[in-house]
Structure 1
C-alpha cells in the first residue's frame, strides 16, 4: 500500500493552482472543478498502473517518483479541455476548417515544421523523446511483457493522445474556443520511433545493474 503514496505528486503538481483559485472560490469555481477533473483522471490512470507495480528498493522508488512527475507533465502538455464555456458560440460551420489542421500524410508535418518553424529541431526532438520514459517504465516495472509489447503500447498511447487532440480540435471549432491542437500522423510516427530510445535506456540500465551485481558478488566472496 505504500506505493500509493506516489499519488501525492498529482496533488503537488496542481496544488499551487488550486490554492490560488480557492482564494476566490465563487469567481474561479469553473476552473477549480476543471482542475479537480484533471486530478481525478490522472489519479485513476496512476492507480491502474500502480496496481501492476512492485516497489522493492530505492531504485524502484526513485524511478516510480520520476515516472509520476513525468506522467503529470505528459498529461498537462497533451490533454486540454474546458468544461465551462463562457461566451462560446455554437456553430458547425467552423468544422470546415478541420481539414486544415489534420495531417494524415506521413512526413508532411515534419517537412512543414523544418521549413517554417525556427525551433524545429527542439519540437522534433521533443516528440522523439516524449514517450521514451513511458517505454522505459513499462519494461522496468513489467507493465509490458516484451520489448515489442512496450513499443506497441507506446504506439497505442500516442495514437490515443492524437485522437483526443482531434476531439479537442473539433470541440474548439464547434464552440469557437480556440483550442489549436489536432491530429498529426507525424507525431504518432515520431513518438513511436522514440519508444525504442526508452527501450535502449532500459537495456543499458539492465547491463549496468548486472555489472553492479557481479562486482558486489566478487567483493562479498573476497571478504
Structure 2
C-alpha cells in the first residue's frame, strides 16, 4: 500500500510540476507579454494596487494576480513534505518555496515571459506555507509516516 501511495503522490506532483511550468512559461498570457522587460522591487506595491482595484469574488479569482500566485504554490508546500520527509518543517518549506519562486521570477525576467515582482515571491511563498499547513493538518488527522 505504501508503494502505491508513493507512486500516486509522485504522479500528482509530476502532473502539478508540468502544469505549473506550462502556466509560468508557455501559457497564452506568457506569450502575450513575451519580450516585455518589467520589474517591481517595492514590497507590497503590486498587492496594494490589486486590492485598490479589486472587483470582489468571482470565477476569475482562481487565476487572478493575487490568489493565482498563492494557489500556484499551494500544492508545492503540500507535496514536498510527503516526498522528502527531511523537508517537513515550516522553515524548510518557506526556504524551498521562496527559492523556487525566486528561480521562476528570475527565469521569467531573463527569458522575457513575465515581470520580476517581489510581491510574487511573497505570495508564492505564502502559498507554499498554506500547502504545508494543509499537510500538517492532514498528518494530525490521518496517521501517515513522514516519508512515504
TM-score by length of 2: 0.75
Deviation at 1:198, TM superposition (A): 1.1
Query: Which residue does 1:186 correspond to in 2?
Result: 119
Question: What CA distance in whole angstroms lies between the structure 1 residues aligned with 2:4 and 2:70?
Answer: 29
**Map 1:6-85 → 2, pairs under 5 A:** 56-80=2-26
Deviation at 1:144, TM superposition (A): 4.2
Does the Cα contact within 8 Å between 1:136 and 1:201 map onto a contact in 2?
yes
> Which protein has the bigger helix share?
1
Larger relative contact order (Cα-Cα within 8 Å, sequence gap ≥ 6): 2
SS across alignment from 1:61:
helix
Does the Cα contact within 8 Å between 1:107 and 1:186 map onto a contact in 2?
yes
Computing the radius of gyration from Cα coordinates, the structure with the larger value is 1
Q: Does residue 129 of structure 1 match 2:62?
A: no
Query: Which residue does 2:84 correspond to in 1?
Result: 142
Equivalent residues, number: 131
CA 1:103–1:144: 2 relative to 1, 3 Å: farther
CA 1:144–1:163: 2 relative to 1, 3 Å: farther
- Unmatched tracts of structure 1, length 5 or more: 1-54, 81-93, 170-178, 214-223
RMSD between superposed Cα atoms in Å: 2.7
Query: Which residue does 1:165 correspond to in 2?
Result: 108
- Unmatched tracts of structure 2, length 5 or more: 27-34
Deviation at 1:121, TM superposition (A): 4.2
Query: Which residue does 1:16 correspond to in 2?
Result: none
SS across alignment from 1:66:
helix
Deviations 1:59-109 (A, max 9, x none): 2222222111111000011124xxxxxxxxxxxxx9xx84xx210111111
